[in-house]
Amino acid sequence: MKILDAHQHFWKYNSKDFDWITDGMAVIQKDFLPADLETVYKENNIEGCVSVQVNQSEEENEVFLQYANENDFIKGTVAWIDLMRDNVESRLAYWHQHKKLKGFRHILQGEKDRALMLNPAFKNGISKLQQFSFTYDILIFPDQLQYALALARSFPSQKFVIDHLAKPYIKNGETEQWQKDIEPFKQCENVYCKISGMVTEADWKSFSNKTFKPYLDVVTSTFGTKRLMYGSDWPVCLVAASYQKVLQIATGYFASFSTEEKKDIFYNNAVEFYNL
């Protein structure tokens, strides 16, 4: 089965820009570059990936595009832009020249204003994406799902994807409120969901494949096999599990699904969503 990893990152580590990487995450306090990932992909038979922004700067966009242009296995990149700036449309036009730049993301999970995505200036920026065929990755915590739903409903023809299942509180075994808030996306056909980032939300020392089943059950019934895509969240995932383990959690859960359904989740949906 061909596998495309719809979510991974690169960085050159320094303690200032990566202050979120605590000493308890020492395993990722180092550089992670395309050559490192290529080795991992060869070991796990992964065909390619979509790289996703880490720091909120347009300078990083240039670096990630250089990586993508130098490495065929990087099929596309999700970048960052200040959606609230006055000249957002001209900046989008600039980035549209770069064929491997597929969409944008903002670290909404870290914003003090939990509903920033509903700010008129932010929504104005979102309204400009579709004319350039850009996608939007929604990076949030569960408390922001209600705002993400309102955003998705405001732009029914804009393609969105929820990263990391919206980071449910897996470590505490909480499902009820998260499930209640994510299920309305069933009606939002413009919203996809990434099967990614789960191991880092679990207890790093004591999870099993069963730990993730309740969460995977919910997103599978909500989004269906045409709106789910596999992502590793490498190298962040390494704080909790090897790449092989992350992949195995996903392939194990979907093992009984049809060949076509698996092709969609592990390859086709990412290709279609990001126009790879």
DSSP code of residue 29:
S
What is the sign, positive or negative, of the torsion defined by CA atoms of 151, 156, 159, 165? positive
Which pTM was predicted?
0.97
Measured CA to CA, the distance from residue 181 to residue 143 in angstroms comes to 9
Measured CA to CA in angstroms, residue 187 lies from 96, 105, 150, 174, 176 at distances of 30, 23, 12, 23, 19
CATH number, residue 90 = 3.20.20.140
Percent of the chain with pLDDT over 70: 100
Q: How many distinct structural domains can be found in the chain?
A: 1
How confident is the model over 99-136, as pLDDT tens digits? 999 999 999 999 999 999 999 999 999 999 999 999 99
How confident is the model over 234-273, as pLDDT tens digits? 999 999 999 999 999 999 999 999 999 999 999 999 999 9
Domain that holds residue 168: 4-274
Measured CA to CA, the distance from residue 94 to residue 102 in angstroms comes to 13
197: left (phi over 0), alpha (psi -120 to 50) or beta: left
Tokens 């004319």 appear where?
131
Contact 4, 267 (CB under 8 A): yes
How confident is the model over 142-194, as pLDDT tens digits? 999 999 999 999 999 999 999 999 999 999 988 999 999 999 999 999 999 99
